[in-house]
Amino acid sequence: MRTSRLVTRCVLGVVAVLGTPFAARGAEPPPPPIIDMHMHVSGPLPRTDSGGVMPRVCLPHGWCDGAPTQAKDDAQVRALTLEAMQRNNIVLGFLSGPVDGVREWVDAAPGRFLAGPFIANPHAVDLDQLRAAYRGGQLQGMGELATQLAGIGPDDPALEPLFALAEEFDLPTLIHLEGIGPREPTFSIAAGRPELLDPVLKRHPGLRIYLENAGFPRLAETISLMYMHPQVYADLSTVTWVAPRAMFYEYLKRLMDAGLGQRLMFGSDQMWWPETIDLGIEAIRSAPFLTEAHKRDIFYNNAARFLRLSPQEIARHHKR
Ligand SMILES: [Zn+2]
């Protein structure tokens, strides 16, 4: 749920913080591991007319009142994001951005991220460069495919080579396909209908794809898609902090009642506001209708299955 030119800088001390064992710092044992399936490298932060950093987005009104972001520039976004990962025991993050940008974050915190290219304009993609990045191991995921921000739906032929590439390399693929997004003139509500993915999945049955925000607020189409295509998963990301809490809970409860609790995965979609990582985790932890087992599925188990983590990786993530 973002678009920008993305720039990152080295953050001194981040590697040292991440590399310090919990026991050595005398801290409490970490909470159970979390996988964050929706993260972004930062870039120039959105500014108000007076030059301050825009507060995070809240619906239905737009910008949240009285909630200024903690980060003042892109370097602080990365530092605070990595601190939040450490604090919440987020052992792995699906990180989206320009190829150069994600590489800098991966270098700052090796082993913490699966990297994917952020693509809003499918016509501007250099497929040879992407293919080389997958072959060389610099990228491990596809997306966020955010062409809806440019008014381009997933059934547009321009996305065909990207889906084919994702299928060829068996990539976990994140797509922005829902009813909400940035309030920009090119954003198309109509291009975000989950059912537009149905013909794509018939052409690419091997596609391992997940929907941002479980298609919010398009519940019926999302349920149809997930019932008819069992390989489709969904994240609970921006919706955990951008929508009114009661609305998010009603949506999540309906997904759980539909029997889809084992295909929902936590994501923060932290963009320029690293504090949303804690907000998103708290929203799921506080859901009164979720059992502890449900929460473990959403925070870790479903993503581990979707990403096909090895038993060794899973054991390593659970090591205290
Ligand atoms: Zn996103």
Q: Within 13 Å of residue 310, how many CA atoms lie on the same side as its CB?
A: 3
| Whole-angstrom distance, CA of residue 254 vs CA of residue 143 | 27
Q: How many residues does the chain have?
A: 320
For ligand 1, the distance from its centroid to the CA atom of residue 320, given in whole angstroms, is 30
Residue 18 included in any domain: no
Those residues whose C-beta lies under 8 Å from the C-beta of residue 316, and which sit 6 or more positions away, are none
Q: State phi, psi for 240 to the nearest 5 degrees.
A: -70, -25
The number of domains in the chain is 1
Q: Give CA–CA dist 87/30, Å, rounded.
A: 8
Centre of ligand 1 from the C-alpha of residue 213, in Å: 10
Residue 24 CA, ligand 1 centroid: distance in Å: 35
Within-domain flag for 24: no
Report yes or no on 27 lying in a domain. Answer: no
- Answer whether residue 277 is part of any domain: yes
Q: How many angstroms is it from 38 CA to the middle of ligand 1?
A: 6
Question: Ligand 1: distance of its center to the CA of 40 in Å?
Answer: 7
Indicate whether 149 belongs to any domain: yes
Query: What's the confidence (pLDDT) of residue 100?
Result: 85
pLDDT the model gives residue 41: 92
Print burial letters for 113-133: b (CB count within 10 Å at least 16), e (below 16): bbbbbbbbebeebeeeebeeb
Residue 214 CA to ligand 1 center (angstroms) comes to 13
Domain span at 288:
32-317
Rounded Cα distance between 160 and 140, Å, is 19
Residue 192 Cα to ligand 1 middle (Å): 14
**Which residue type occupies 135?**
R
- Residue 267 Cα to ligand 1 midpoint, Å, equals 9
Domain of 59: which CATH number? 3.20.20.140
- Of 77, 56, 72, nearest to 9 by C-alpha is 77
Question: What's the 28 CA to ligand 1 centre distance in angstroms?
Answer: 31
- The label of the residue with tokens 């502890």 reads 292
CB of 237 within 8 A of CB of 231? no
CA 10 to CA 319: how far, in whole Å?
29
Query: What separation in Å is there between the alpha carbon of 73 and the centre of ligand 1?
Result: 18
Does a structural domain hold residue 90? yes
Q: How far is the CA of 164 from the centre of ligand 1 (A)?
A: 21
- For ligand 1, the distance from its centroid to the CA atom of residue 145, given in whole angstroms, is 9
How many angstroms does the Cα of residue 143 sit away from the middle of ligand 1?
9
Cβ–Cβ under 8 Å, residues 95 and 41: yes
Identify whether 181 is part of a domain.
yes
**pLDDT value, residue 107:** 92
Q: Which pLDDT does position 54 carry in this prediction?
A: 82
Gap from CA of 269 to ligand 1 centroid (Å): 5
Distance 272 CA to ligand 1 centre (A): 11
Domain annotation covers residue 26: no
pLDDT of residue 89: 97
Rounded distance from Cα 23 to ligand 1 centre (Å):
34
Specify which residues 93 forms β-bridges with. 36, 113
Please give the distance, rounded to the nearest whole angstrom, from the Cα atom of residue 85 to the centre of ligand 1: 17
Query: Per residue, what are the HEC states of 99-153?
Result: HHHHHHHHHHCCCCEEEEECECCHHHCCHHHHHHHHHCCCCCCEEEECHHHHCCC
Please tell me the distance between residue 51's alpha carbon and the centre of ligand 1 in angstroms. 24
Per-residue pLDDT of the chain (320 residues; tens, 9 = 90+): 444 433 332 222 333 333 344 444 556 777 999 999 999 998 788 888 888 888 888 999 887 876 667 788 878 999 999 999 999 999 999 999 998 889 989 999 999 999 999 999 999 999 999 999 999 999 999 999 999 999 999 999 999 999 999 999 999 999 999 999 999 999 999 999 999 999 999 999 999 999 999 999 999 999 999 999 999 999 999 999 999 999 999 999 999 999 999 999 999 999 989 999 999 999 999 999 999 999 999 999 999 999 999 999 999 999 96
What separation in Å is there between the alpha carbon of 21 and the centre of ligand 1?
30
Buried-exposed string 144-154: b where 16+ CB fall within 10 A, e elsewhere: bbbbbbbbbbb
| Distances in whole angstroms, Cα of residue 117 to Cα of each of 39, 55, 99, 125, 236 | 12, 26, 6, 10, 20
Q: How far is the CA of 234 from the centre of ligand 1 (A)?
A: 13
